Chain A
Amino acid sequence: MNIGVIIPLIIFLIGIFAIGLISSKRMSTPGTSFLSDYFLGGRELGGFVLAMTMVATYGSASSFLGGPGTAYTVGFGWILLAMAQVVTGYFVLLILGKKFAILARRYNAVTMIDFLKVRYNSSAVAILSAIAIIIFLFSAMTAQWVGGGRLIESLTGLQYTTALFIFAISVLVYVVIGGFRAVAVTDAVQGGIMVIGTLVLLIGVIIAGGGVPAIMQDLLNENPRLVTPFGADGSLSAAYVSSFWILVGVGVVALPQMAVRAMSYKNSRSMHRALVIGTIVTGFIMLNMHLIGIFARPVMPGIEIGDKVIPLVALEVLPAWLAGIVLAAPMAAIMSTVDSLLLLVSSAIVKDVYINFIRPDAEERRIKIVSFGVTAILGVIVFLLALKPPELLIFLNLFSFGGLEAAFIWPVVLGLYWKYGNKYGAIASMITGMLSYIGLHFYNQAFGNLFGVHTVTFPILLSLVAYVVFSLTVKREVYRF
């Protein structure tokens, strides 16, 4: 137990709770729709908050714990791979951009599923989407909770189960009370902490390692491949690393947690501002966080569990109180991802399943109770899943990204821009994408990556073919936007 580290963390948690509470007060002002408020913050996010909530949601446990941990093991090749994510900062907002915002308002859509349902005028699309979101986001959430538990475990020395429990309670309390606005506003605070924490830790590591050239020399002495793009064991091929552009770069456009943010901005000014801030902050965090991972290698050799690299190195190179503040950054990243996912899955259940199919006439009060209840129950289930954590959480996390991207990318993007896109294409594309992704995942695990690229690549191509073929052959019809 390290009191000096824990106190700043506790203060951070209390601060986050306070923000959640204030946001929930603001939510209860009369005259606003509970649904659009709870799940979307009433569509009035400004540029800074919008950018930060995107970065914080996307910059998850894998960018703060798993990613740097892998960079520690693999070397510069992994940072190269991680930098594919700079594209998300501008790509998501430019592609979904104005058309998505306009249509979401016109359709009165609160979730990505709402949008798809109206665009394709199909309940089947809505049900399939809800299934995809519930399956894949569950695995993403679990990965995040494992990260949160691990982090508290390595900080406090508590048992993993206890650590996870503390984490779960903190997240649940403030999501349940605050809703989307609480999530977005705390994301902004957390995003700020992430940037500052990254910078402080990077400087600390460089000083501890005796300067960048010295660190580089140590790495060269240990294994020259650490400084090549090909990874410590030479296994990172150009094709494999490049295929991550689809997974963590352009494909992110189809993640429901990103799409929902692209319908929440106030006006085009805030979108433009978010574009700039998002790009800079994403790139800054990705570059520096992964550099910390690899610089930590000569400073602290022999760390076995990748996820623990960042917490351990922070405790090593920084004074305790500062380490506490800095470690609030990954904590922030994890919490802000978890809360968004939690809200998203519960919106899929409440909004897209319950209200659409079970009780279309449910009144506000009832929806409120159901929303809180579903969110809380989901939290408990994820907690139980996270009790037995897998070795490296990044792969679990990426599994869910790929599945969602394969399912949604064409129904969303072509649904926005291609007038011949229709529900037959969307359904075929989602089924093809999900099934081929899951199938290929197991194939790749058994026999190594097909053609040496990441699993997500082929399902995305296949689902494109399915979308176009089924849209044009079953019923060729122009959609009027």
Chain B
Amino acid sequence: MNTETSKTDPRFKIAHREAWIGVGLAIFNFIWWFGFAYGLGSRPVEAYTYIFGLPDWFFYSCVVGFLLMSALVIVIAKYVLTEVSFDEEVEE
């Protein structure tokens, strides 16, 4: 984060940003999964409702959670990630 930054391979900047996106996605995924599972699932069993026959906590946490993550990953792969070459460039 000082004079060296100018020499850093520009592709690594992209790589670092995308790694942080991965961390962000994982944190969001965890919160969604945990929140619905234990938020709804901690009620007494008699209070559960059923969606497509599945317990509500499970439906939101695992089924919707999975679909949502898939959608997010598609959007990110399509619009956010940058294409770079993996081979060594002759620069410097």
Contacts and interface: CB of A to CB of B under 8 A. Distances in A.
Contacts, number: 146
A128 interface: no
A148 interface: no
Contact of B73 (A238, A245, A275): A275
Given A91-B25, A238-B34, A272-B77, A98 B69 contact: no
Interface stretch (A99-107, A403-411, A431-439): A99-107
Interface in B56-72: 57-58, 61-63, 65-66, 69-70
Interface of B: 4, 7-9, 11-12, 14-16, 18-19, 21-23, 25-26, 29-30, 33-34, 37-38, 41-42, 45, 48, 50, 52-55, 57-58, 61-63, 65-66, 69-70, 73-74, 77-78, 81-88
B25 A94 contact: yes
A242 interface: yes
Interface residues of A, number: 55
Interface of A: 76, 79-80, 83-84, 86-87, 89-91, 93-95, 97-99, 101-102, 105-106, 211-213, 215-216, 220, 224-225, 227-230, 238, 241-242, 245, 249-250, 265, 267-269, 272-273, 275-276, 279-280, 283-284, 287, 417, 478, 480-481
B57 to A, nearest CB: 7
A279 B11 contact: no
Nearest to A106: B88
B84 A268 contact: yes
A212 B19 CA distance: 40
Contacts of A265: 86
Contacts of B78: 272
A417 B16 contact: yes
A225 B48 CA distance: 12
Given A94-B18, A97-B18, A272-B77, A86 B65 contact: yes
